[in-house]
């Protein structure tokens, strides 16, 4: 196993399933797995009588299922036996206006095609959880949000699941591809400090996604370690240009000493250029501007905007590849793989160092 991969071990507490399940909570395969202290895939294999599961673990899982009154999803069990030739790809509803997610999709589709698979695109547009599991062999969930009922339903299915970034809601995926966004942001903040910035501000979504939570946490830690004031504005995860522009106007009005601005949402920094000019500020001179997610609009802006390259196409491909490894048994449930990202420094933060 490579240095960038690790398996999360799960203990098996005796009679952990004796704790009652709330009456209003549906008993899913994840519920059974959590109470038995095993992975979702192990629980599913134990109940189906397949896979490399010890007899002791099988008895434990079956006992948990009986105790909780778990009723298997017959449709999902059938899909696991008969391959459909497709994987499901779920993304937040921001897909149509996001360069990041479009690239992520292309990467996953190409990887699936290399394995002779199709991709079924799933979204949370209706905000209502589906009544049945999708007819696919496995799932890739991009940036799963903890408060998304569709994600919650998909995570509760018996299908092998890989997430891009960790999931903070109930249940655990079978595999995770994640990036150290916190470390990347701290590198960016260090660059801004070297360029003379002393009061950096952050526009970031709430902590419902692992990506946003990591960015927000890293900003707080960096400022706390240096005694720098926290200056933030929160926007929705699916914030449009109007929402991020309003947040920037508020910061520029309320914080006249602001000398650096980091916009977390994809391409948001490019839409802020007119707002910054309206406020009488000059990007790259008296105000440094950067983004947590790179995009073509940032590379071709005037001035070009410093950003973290999160390599979305490669991330999509990595998630799909990990799912196929889980489907074929060449990867074990619980595996995590690190997806490397890097900072691209451009004109918007190239101010001369302070004396």
Spell out the SS3 assignment of the chain. CCCCEEECCCCCCCCHHHCCCCCCCCCCHHHHHHHHCCCHHHHHHHHHCCCCCCHHHHHHHHHHHHHHCCCCCHHHHHHHHCCCCEEEEEECCCHHHCHHHHHHHHHHHHHHHHCCCEEEEEECCCCCCCCCCCCCCCEEEECCCCCCHHHHHHHCCCCCEEEECCCCCCCCCCEEEECCHHHHHHHHHHHHHHCCCCCEEEEEECCCCHHHHHHHHHHHHHHHHHCCCCCEEEECCCCCHHHHHHHHHHHHHHCCCCCEEEECCCCHHHHCHHHHHHCCCCECCCEEEEECCCCHHHHCCCCCCEEEECCHHHHHHHHHHHHHHHHHCCCCCCEEEECCCEEECCHHHCCCCCC
State the residue range of the domain holding 41. 1-72
Query: How many distinct structural domains can be found in the chain?
Result: 2
pTM for the whole thing? 0.76
- Residue 328 domain-assigned? no
- Cα(300)–Cα(285) distance, integer angstroms: 18
Q: In what order do the strands lie in the sheet with 139-142?
A: 5-7, 335-338, 175-178, 161-164, 139-142, 86-91, 118-123
| Residue at a domain's end among 21, 42, 72 | 72
Q: Of 156-160, 190-194, 340-344, give the lowest mean pLDDT range.
A: 156-160
- Residue 274 domain-assigned? yes
- Residue 218 domain-assigned? yes
Q: What is the CATH number of the domain that holds 8?
A: 1.10.260.40
| Residue at a domain's end among 30, 49, 72 | 72
> What per-residue confidence (pLDDT) applies to 329?
86
> What per-residue confidence (pLDDT) applies to 120?
94
- Residue 272 domain-assigned? yes
- Residue 118 domain-assigned? no
- Residue 101 domain-assigned? no
Say which residue, 292 or 75, is predicted with more confidence: 292
How does pLDDT run across 4-55, given as a tens digit for each residue? 554 443 333 333 333 444 444 567 778 888 888 888 778 877 877 666 778 8
| Torsion angle in degrees (nearest 10) through CA of 26, 27, 29, 31 | 100
pLDDT band at residue 73 using 50, 70 and 90 as cut-offs: low
How does pLDDT run across 138-154, given as a tens digit for each residue? 999 999 998 888 998 89
Say which residue, 94 or 170, is predicted with more confidence: 170
| Residue at a domain's end among 72, 107, 133 | 72
CB 42 within 8 A of CB 51: yes
- Residue 98 domain-assigned? no
Q: Of 69-78, 187-196, 217-226, 242-251, give the lowest mean pLDDT range.
A: 69-78
Q: What is the CATH number of the domain that holds 216?
A: 3.40.50.2300
- Residue 333 domain-assigned? no
């Amino acid at each position: 196993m490579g240095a960038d991969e690790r398996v999360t071990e799960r203990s098996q507490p005796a009679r952990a399933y004796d704790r009652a399940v709330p009456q209003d909570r549906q008993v899913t395969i994840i519920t059974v797995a959590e109470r038995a202290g095993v992975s979702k895939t192990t629980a599913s294999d134990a109940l189906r009588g397949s896979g490399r599961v010890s007899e002791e673990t099988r008895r434990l899982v079956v006992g948990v299922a009986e105790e909780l009154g778990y009723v298997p999803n017959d449709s999902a069990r059938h899909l696991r036996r008969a391959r459909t030739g497709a994987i499901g790809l779920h993304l937040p509803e921001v897909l149509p206006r996001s360069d990041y997610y479009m690239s992520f999709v292309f990467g996953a589709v190409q990887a699936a095609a290399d394995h002779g698979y199709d991709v079924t695109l799933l979204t949370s547009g209706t905000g209502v959880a589906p009544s049945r599991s999708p007819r696919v062999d496995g799932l890739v969930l991009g940036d799963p949000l903890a408060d998304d009922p569709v994600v919650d339903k998909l995570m509760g299915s018996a299908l092998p699941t890989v997430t891009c970034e960790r999931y903070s809601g109930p249940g655990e995926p079978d595999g995770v591809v994640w990036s150290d966004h916190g470390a990347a942001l701290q590198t960016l903040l260090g660059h801004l400090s070297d360029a003379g910035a002393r009061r950096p501000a952050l526009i970031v979504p709430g902590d419902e996604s692992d990506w946003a939570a990591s960015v927000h946490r890293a900003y707080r830690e960096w400022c706390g370690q240096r005694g720098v004031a926290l200056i933030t504005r929160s926007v929705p995860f699916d914030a449009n240009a109007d929402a991020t522009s309003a947040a920037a106007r508020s910061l520029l009005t309320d914080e006249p000493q602001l000398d650096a601005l980091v916009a977390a949402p994809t391409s948001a920094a490019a839409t802020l250029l007119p707002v910054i000019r309206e406020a009488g500020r000059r990007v790259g001179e008296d105000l440094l501007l950067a983004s947590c997610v790179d995009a073509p609009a940032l590379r071709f802006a005037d001035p070009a905007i410093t950003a973290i390259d999160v390599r979305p196409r490669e991330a999509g491909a990595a998630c799909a590849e990990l799912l196929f490894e889980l489907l074929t048994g060449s990867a074990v449930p619980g595996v995590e793989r690190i997806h490397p990202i890097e900072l691209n420094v451009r004109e918007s933060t190239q101010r001369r160092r302070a004396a």
